[in-house]
C-alpha cells in the first residue's frame, strides 16, 4: 500500500500549491466561460503590449485532460523538492519555476519573431499558446541532468526514464496531440538545460523577490496599457520620451519610469 496522500503533499508543498493554483484557475475559466484567446500568448498580442499573457498563458488550461496531463507530470517532477542533498530542494524549485515560466514564454515569442520576420511564416503571428507544459518540460530536463536515475510517472501507471523523458515526451505529444505546441515544449527544454548546466545561476531569495516585484509591475502596467484591465489606483502618464511609460500610483505622488518591453489557432503547452 502506498503512502497516504497527505504525507506526499507535505513533502511537496510548492508542487501541491502550484497544482492547486492551476486547478483553481481552470475552474474559474470554465465557470466564467473564458476562452484561450483571452488568456493565451500569441506574437500578435505581445507586440500590442499584452505582456501579461506570458504569465496567464502559463497557468491556464483549455480542457480537463490538458490540465490533468500537465499536473500529473508536474506531481511526479515534484521530487525535486525532496532533493536538497544534491543542491535542489524547495527554494531551488520555487526560484527556478519562476525563471522557467518567464524565460520559456519570452523564448517562445523570440522563436515566433524569427519564424515570422526571417522565414516569413505568418502562421505563427496569430497562433495562441496556453498551458504549463513549458515549465513541466523544463523540470523534466533539469531532473534528467541532475538525477538521471529518476523515473517520470504519469497517471500512476506509466513510467519513463527521466534521462529520455524530455525528448520522448516532445515527440510523443507532437504525434498524439496535433495541437501540442512543439515550440513551447522545446523552449522549456532549452531553458531547462540552461539552468541545469549552470548557464542561468545565482538565483536566491533576494533575486526571486525582486523578480516577482518586477513581474507584478510589468503585469499591471501591460494590463493597463493594453486596456485589458483598468487599475484605478495608478495612472500611466506621458514623459519626455514617449517610448518610456511613466506610472504614477495615486495617493503617493510617486512616479516610476520604466523601459518599455521589446517585443489562427491555439497550441497547448
| Active-site residue list | 133, 185
CA atoms of 158 and 165, how far apart (whole Å): 12
Rg (CA), the chain: 19
Q: What is the end-to-end Cα distance of the chain in Å, rounded?
A: 34
Sole residue written with cell 487599475: 231
Closest by CA to 94, choosing from 80, 107, 73, is 80
Torsion sign across C-alpha atoms 227, 188, 260, 47: negative
Those residues with Cβ within 8 angstroms of residue 185's Cβ, 6 or more apart along the chain or in another chain: 133, 134, 137, 169, 170, 173, 174, 269
CA atoms of 184 and 255, how far apart (whole Å): 36
Q: Is 246 strand, coil or helix?
A: strand
Cα-Cα-Cα-Cα torsion 28, 34, 39, 42, nearest 10 degrees, comes to: 150
Length of the chain: 269
Closest by CA to 127, choosing from 65, 55, 189, 57, is 57
Q: Is 241 strand, coil or helix?
A: coil
Amino acid at each position: 500500500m502506498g503512502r497516504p496522500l497527505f504525507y506526499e503533499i507535505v513533502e511537496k508543498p510548492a508542487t501541491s500549491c502550484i497544482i492547486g493554483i492551476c486547478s483553481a484557475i481552470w475552474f474559474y475559466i470554465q465557470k466564467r466561460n473564458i476562452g484561450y484567446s483571452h488568456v493565451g500568448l500569441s506574437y500578435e498580442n505581445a507586440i500590442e503590449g499584452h505582456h501579461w499573457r506570458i504569465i496567464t498563458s502559463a497557468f491556464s488550461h483549455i480542457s480537463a485532460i490538458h490540465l490533468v496531463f500537465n499536473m500529473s507530470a508536474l506531481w511526479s517532477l515534484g521530487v525535486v523538492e525532496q532533493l536538497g542533498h544534491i543542491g535542489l530542494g524547495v527554494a531551488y524549485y520555487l526560484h527556478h519555476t519562476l525563471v522557467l515560466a518567464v524565460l520559456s514564454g519570452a523564448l517562445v515569442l523570440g522563436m515566433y519573431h524569427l519564424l515570422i520576420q526571417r522565414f516569413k511564416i505568418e502562421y505563427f503571428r496569430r497562433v495562441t499558446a496556453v498551458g504549463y507544459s513549458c515549465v513541466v518540460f523544463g523540470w523534466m530536463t533539469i531532473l534528467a541532468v541532475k538525477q538521471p536515475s529518476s523515473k517520470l510517472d504519469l497517471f500512476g501507471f506509466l513510467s519513463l526514464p527521466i534521462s529520455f523523458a524530455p525528448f520522448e515526451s516532445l515527440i510523443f505529444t507532437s504525434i498524439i496531440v496535433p495541437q501540442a505546441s512543439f515550440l513551447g515544449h522545446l523552449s522549456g527544454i532549452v531553458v531547462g538545460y540552461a539552468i541545469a548546466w549552470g548557464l542561468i545561476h545565482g538565483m536566491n531569495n533576494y533575486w526571486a523577490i525582486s523578480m516577482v516585484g518586477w513581474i507584478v509591475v510589468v503585469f499591471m502596467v501591460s494590463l493597463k496599457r493594453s486596456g485589458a484591465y483598468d487599475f484605478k489606483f495608478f495612472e500611466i502618464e506621458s514623459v519626455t520620451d514617449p517610448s518610456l511609460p511613466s506610472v504614477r500610483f495615486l495617493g503617493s505622488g510617486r512616479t516610476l519610469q520604466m523601459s518599455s518591453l521589446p517585443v489562427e489557432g491555439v497550441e497547448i503547452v
